[in-house]
Amino acid sequence: MANLEADHVVGSHVALGLVERLAGAVATDPGVARLVDSRTIYVVPRLNPDGVDRLLAGKPRADLRANLAAIDRDRDGKPNEDGPDDIDGDGLATIMRVKDAKATLVPDAKDARLLRKADPAKGERAVYSEMTEGIDNDGDGLINEDPPGGVDLNRNWPHNWTEYNPETGVAPASEPEVNALIRFAFAHPEIAAIWSFGLNDNLRAEAKGVAAADAPYFAELTKGFARATGPAGSDAPKDQPKDEPVKAADPPKDEPKADAPPPDRARVAQPKGQRGAMKGQAKGQGGGPGGPAAPPGAAPASVAASGIEGTTDGALSEWAYHQFGAVGLASRLWPAPEPAAGGPPLAGDGEARWLDWNDKAAGGAAFVPFHAVDHPTLGKVEVGGWKPGVRLNPPAESIAAIADGHYAFLKDLAGRLPTLAIKEAKAEARGGGVFEIKATVENAGYLPTALAQGLTTRRAAPVLVKLDLGDAKLLAGKALDRVESLPGSGGSREFRWLVLAPATKPLAIEASCPRAGTARREIPLR
Ligand SMILES: [Ca+2]
Ligand SMILES: [Ca+2]
Ligand SMILES: [Ca+2]
Ligand SMILES: [Ca+2]
């Protein structure tokens, strides 16, 4: 499942890259041929086509994560009436810095492209307010207060859903894209694993909140992912100087950000109770409604507060595990800025590191240097900042390697799915046409036929074991038996029956489970 967030376009490329690789290998690689013969892989390369179309074709190009559902954020009766505009004519909507009475920010001493909160106790005087590039399109005194946006499709799933936030929807699964996929999942109880490409990531970190019995499986999948994607696909600090803490390169991954402001909100004007011409919350200060205010003099805005963080709240992968009871996985695909091949290592943390990446690896192409522009109503402002999407999507030439690594993990994951087998099935004559039938049903896959969470949610169907009697008569044992879950890696259960068989027609034993397939074995009567 990819491209739930409009601005995570790389997800579509990698999802299609997986299909391309499977299709290309099926004729030559027996393992892949077996995989596609025995499993069904549903691929949704772009769950958010409306958002992506707007993102790619919109004028000006502006950041967009959501699905373009009409939302009236300022409750003036009109949805989406005031979004970003291109003031400096570069075709992009970036950031404006305004010197005004509401200023709270000063340029960082190390890099003036970064702003931080001024510290009056140190005698610092605030210089700037910061907001998205634009004008007051509807003349209500607010700039960009109701931009085209909608609902973030990776925050609309019914698990740990955030209420009272326009970007998460009016209700869990309120969005047709999400709702349709939930219906699809419920109609396909055989789905054993759901893997999303998006801003949250649980394959590069220990899975949190997982049932104790399921945790070892997730830990093993995490290891498998690291092996498959290797250093290029992981955020291993391969090129980091030794004296730098590893943590510095780690993006915020799946840590819940329940109290952080939603990405766009931190930047748009606050409509309520404000009437001046200039409104706008400082970007990156974490000071949105209910959010923690950065202390004066704090370090420059971190990645966590710059609108590119992921959250697990309402995310697909979390719903997949906690509510659907399947293996729920998520990868961000490009978790951190990477140095150019053979290039100098990156320094700093958060925004500073991204800027270093822009300078050293991206040739300065990702960031518009701030420059003075005449604003129609605000006078002189400075316009600049990150180009839309540049920190969520890797350079195009990196995508093939990312797809290679994720393809390797896809095969690894498919090879670990639960798989039923019948072993040691035999019939012993007891005389007088009576036979004792014994069979052992085994899960030959790595994963259990039902995760502990699958049993909790009752979404993981049991293993049904059926004795196909033909014209024989059952004397003892159950014609249809069930096992709630067979553990992985050879977990098995023995079944015994007594039958009275008039002829010597073979009997058959069938074990089936939607998530683990069907195994059938005939037992000749001798
Ligand atoms: Ca409005
Ligand atoms: Ca512009
Ligand atoms: Ca308005
Ligand atoms: Ca307005």
8 Å CB contact between 228 and 34? no
The pLDDT of residue 266 is above 50: no
**Distance from residue 375's CA to the centre of ligand 2 (Å):** 11
**Distance from residue 393's CA to the centre of ligand 2 (Å):** 20
Q: Which ligand is nearest to the CA of 92?
A: 2
**Between the CA atoms of 310, 312, 315 and 321, what dihedral angle is there, to the nearest 10 degrees?**
140
8 Å CB contact between 115 and 284? yes
Percent above pLDDT 70 for the chain = 86
**Distance from residue 82's CA to the centre of ligand 1 (Å):** 7
Give the number of other CB atoms < 10 A from CB of residue 335.
22
Give per-residue pLDDT as tens, 21-38. 999 999 999 999 999 999
Q: For residues 489-513, b (16+ Cβ closer than 10 Å) or e, as one string?
A: eebbeebebebebeeeebbbbbbbb
Give the pLDDT score at 230: 85
**Rounded mean pLDDT of 315-328?**
98
Which structural domains are found in the chain, ordered by start? 1-69+149-259+310-337 (3.40.630.10), 420-523 (2.60.40.10)
The pLDDT of residue 260 is above 50: no
The predicted model scores a pTM of 0.84
Name the more confident of 361 and 259.
361
Work out the pLDDT band at 526, boundaries 50, 70, 90: confident
In sequence order, the 6+-apart residues with CB closer than 8 A to the CB of 242 are none
8 Å CB contact between 148 and 68? yes
Work out the pLDDT band at 231, boundaries 50, 70, 90: low
**Distance from residue 134's CA to the centre of ligand 2 (Å):** 8
The pLDDT of residue 379 is above 70: yes
**Distance from residue 48's CA to the centre of ligand 4 (Å):** 27
Q: Which ligand is nearest to the CA of 134?
A: 2
Mapping DSSP onto H, E and C, the string for 469-520 reads CCCCEEEECCCEEEECCCCCCCEEEEEEEEEECCCCCCEEEEEEECCCEEEE
Give per-residue pLDDT as tens, 101-138. 999 999 999 999 999 999 999 999 999 999 999 999 99
State the average pLDDT for the chain.
Answer: 86
The pLDDT of residue 20 is above 60: yes
Name the more confident of 307 and 359.
359
**Distance from residue 64's CA to the centre of ligand 3 (Å):** 19
The pLDDT of residue 226 is above 50: yes
**Distance from residue 88's CA to the centre of ligand 4 (Å):** 19
Q: List CB-based neighbours of ion ligand 1 within 5 Å.
A: 72, 74, 76, 78, 81, 146
Interhelix angle for 215-233 vs 399-415, to 10°? 150
What are the distances in angstroms from CA 214 to CA 43, 217, 255, 485?
A: 25, 6, 19, 12
393 token code pair: 């999507």
**Distance from residue 476's CA to the centre of ligand 2 (Å):** 79
The pLDDT of residue 256 is above 70: no
| Burial of residue 464, with CB atoms counted within 10 A of its CB: 0-12 exposed, 13-18 middle, 19 or more buried | middle
Q: Which ligand is nearest to the CA of 143?
A: 4
**Distance from residue 93's CA to the centre of ligand 2 (Å):** 4
Helix (H) or strand (E) holding 25: helix 10-25
Q: Which ligand is nearest to the CA of 59?
A: 2
Which residues does residue 106 pair with via DSSP β-bridges, in sequence order? 116
**Strand, helix or coil for residue 422:** strand
Q: What is the DSSP string of 242-294?
A: TTS-GGGGPPP-S---TTSPPTTTTTS---TT--SS---PPTTS--STTPPPP
**Strand, helix or coil for residue 386:** strand
Q: List CB-based neighbours of ion ligand 2 within 5 Å.
A: 86, 88, 90, 92
**Distance from residue 387's CA to the centre of ligand 2 (Å):** 9
Instruction: List alpha helices for 373-460, DSSP H.
Output: 399-415, 452-457
Mapping DSSP onto H, E and C, the string for 128-197 reads EEEEECCCCCCCCCCCCCECCCCCCCCCCCCCCCCCCCHHHCCCCCCCHHHHHHHHHHHHCCCCCEEEEE
**Distance from residue 482's CA to the centre of ligand 2 (Å):** 64
The pLDDT of residue 469 is above 80: yes
Give the pLDDT score at 306: 59
The pLDDT of residue 304 is above 80: no
The pLDDT of residue 253 is above 90: no
Give the pLDDT score at 307: 76
Give the number of other CB atoms < 10 A from CB of residue 367.
20
The pLDDT of residue 504 is above 90: no
Count each helix (H run) and each strand (E run) in the chain, helices first: 9, 16
